[in-house]
Amino acid sequence: MEKAYKDIRPAYLILADGTVFKGRNMGVAGTTIGEVVFTTGMTGYQETLTDPSYYGQLVTQTFPLIGNYGVNSEDKESSRVWVSGYIVREVCFEPSNFRSEKTMEQYLEENEIIGIYDIDTRALTKKIRETGVMNGAITTEWPEDMDALLKEIKAFSIKDAVASVSYDEPMTFTIDEPVCKVVLMDYGYKKNILRSLNQRGCEVIVMPHDTTLEQIRKIDPDGIMLSNGPGDPEENKEIIANLKEILDESEYPVLGICLGHQLMALAYGAKTEKLKFGHRGGNQPVFDLNKNRIFVTTQNHGYAVVSDSITEDIGRVSHYNANDKSCEGVIYNRPATFTVQFHPEACAGPHDTQYLFDNFVSNMIKYKGEK
């Protein structure tokens, strides 16, 4: 059902190259600038909105209808919405689902997010695929000085991303009779990482992004989990230095996901690169070299580890993307240490690679028995 005419506000998506898409506003009015990206997920839009990895980005949903099953209080991956703006083809104003508590429109308004709908998201996605991700702005007011706005759009960059989304204080999530104790390094972690560890009998202590080896030793964990997160991995000089000390001076089993995967590689002296348009969505094919088969995965990243920079003295590539052959996983020479670019815990999304959490827990149990 369409919104009442009096509630319809025009909105514009303006790209850094001057391309303009005219549509209608959802959420709040105003202007927001960010990096325009697209995600191919058919479901899980609430998880997308609340994923800290989307910090600083204007997120485009390629699936044409968003909001049809509403929004609830259970499916969020963090405490708030992190996208800078939201772009969809068609938004449903009357959702139908027994779990629905509010509409997409209400959710965006409550979180003060500027959105735009009724634009050609297929044309926008094709443009991003052909030219690469670019900055843009969503605005409900036609700019009086387009040149000045374009200058501001082009100058935009995502800075201090991890520090902006990470919690400042430790948080402990206990369970009855835990099998292992895990330190979860918060670079912008998704709650389902926490749930996946709890479900496997792990007590989880979420630690701030700048946690040091000395602080970890005081906790005496059985393993360390490196979370997902936003931004350019190379920007995180302090985190990379802390990780290098953790890896060189301790024997804790380690599992890294997404940004954690990239930061681990950088700590070992490998390289990362920015992809043309990234991998975002729940249908990304990944080849597992150990199992000699392809898994369908959920991903959300704009950077990747350079495969050739993973040399024999560091470890070996364990997974690669079946579409563009980019690095999707590394097994390190350091004992019980591996990382993946995709999200084995993803909701919504395929759960085919959750065995990686089982492998991590097995490594921790072995380490716990030997220490």
Residues catalogued as catalytic: 258, 343, 345
Beta strands in 169-271 (DSSP E): 171-173, 180-185, 202-207, 223-226, 254-257
Distance of alpha carbon 157 from alpha carbon 133, whole angstroms = 12
Distance of alpha carbon 16 from alpha carbon 1, whole angstroms = 33
Beta strands in the chain (DSSP E): 10-15, 20-27, 31-39, 57-61, 65-66, 85-87, 90-91, 114-117, 134-139, 171-173, 180-185, 202-207, 223-226, 254-257, 272-288, 293-305, 315-321, 327-332, 337-340
| Contact status, residue 171 vs residue 149, Cβ threshold 8 Å | no
| Contact status, residue 15 vs residue 126, Cβ threshold 8 Å | no
**Between β-strands 20-27 and 114-117, what pairing exists: parallel, antiparallel or unpaired?**
antiparallel
Q: For helices 237-249 and 259-267, what crossing angle results, to 10°?
A: 70
Residue with tokens 């392809």: 294
